[in-house]
Amino acid sequence: MRLRSSLIAITLLVATAAPLHADGYLTPYVGAGFGGRTDDHKIAYGGSLAFASERGVLGIGVDLGYTPDFIGTTGVGNNNVTSLMGNLMFLTPGRTRLYASGGLGLMKTRVEDAHGFFRVDSNDFGVNLGGGVMLFPGDAIGLRADVRYFRNLTDPEPDAEFDVDLGGLSFWQATGGITFRF
């Protein structure tokens, strides 16, 4: 009897609940990586996919970024940093959406010398924190500007214990792009 009453109550709740609607935001971007371990301003590009309620303040997102020649080209061969981050977003509602974003993910660093003598590939966990603005003059296409701080996470003592510390790789990234809302 209790099980049947619970199933009826759940069915009525689901049938009468307001539909959950989230807008999707797809943004290919280009910008610059600077500060931290970079030797100068470096071009960065990538893309972001986010979902947030139009009137709500919470959203989630995934960001994939790539910065070639991260530590320069003098005396160093191919080098780059790739980041893949999952983020939680806090947004303002409306056609102009200010937001703060932060999350965790992966950072891949690759460095090899010009003569192929050595090569370093590093896969680390990483964090990012930042914010920006999305402007929508129309309904489906807008502009996005974003500034984020990235830092890798390391295990300071490679032993059987799980320790996490801030690593030595850090940089800022400022980007802009066209946002497609769907």
Domains of the chain: 21-181 (2.40.160.20)
Is the pLDDT score of 39 beyond 70?
no
Tokens describing residue 1: 């009897």
Q: Span 108-128, mean pLDDT?
A: 79
Inter-residue contact 170 to 17 (CB < 8 Å) = no
Higher pLDDT, 42 or 89: 89
pTM: 0.80
Residue 165 is predicted with a pLDDT of: 81
Per-residue pLDDT of 147-169, as tens digits, reads 999 999 987 777 777 778 888 88
Q: Is the dihedral of CA 38, 41, 43, 45 positive or negative?
A: positive
